[in-house]
Amino acid sequence: MTSVDGSNARLCEKLKALGYADRNRIRIYGEEFDLLSNPISDEHGVSIEAKSRKSGAARRLRIPLSLVNMVRRDLKSEDRSSSAA
């Protein structure tokens, strides 16, 4: 496993801990969704499979970039503090 894969796995685990996990319900983009998967990291960012509570349609939602960047910053600061100790 490369460091990029490892950091993406850690990012997805942190997003799951924040509630972006299979079988949870979220409100995003002005609509409620039932989550059908855990976060998926790809070349376009991080997304999640979800089903709209209003229409019942399944779709892939992108997790907001501001949230992804915040989690990445937290992970970097954790790495720095653990290497300094």
CB neighbours of 6 closer than 8 A, spacing ≥ 6? none
As a whole number of Å, the end-to-end CA separation of the chain is 25
Please state the domain count of the chain. Answer: 1
pLDDT in tens, 16-67: 999 999 999 999 989 999 999 999 998 889 999 999 999 999 999 999 999 9
Residue 42: give its domain's CATH number.
2.30.30
Query: Residue 61's domain spans which residues?
Result: 3-84
Query: Which segments within 1-85 are labelled E, that is strand?
Result: 25-28, 31-35, 40-42, 45-52, 58-62
Residue 82 predicted with pLDDT over 90: no
CA atoms within 13 A on the CB side of 56: 0
pLDDT at 2 > cutoff 50: no
How many other CB atoms are found less than 10 A from the CB of residue 7? 15
pTM (2 d.p.): 0.84
3-17 pLDDT, tens digit per residue, is: 457 889 999 999 999
Q: How far is CA 57 from the centre of its chain?
A: 20
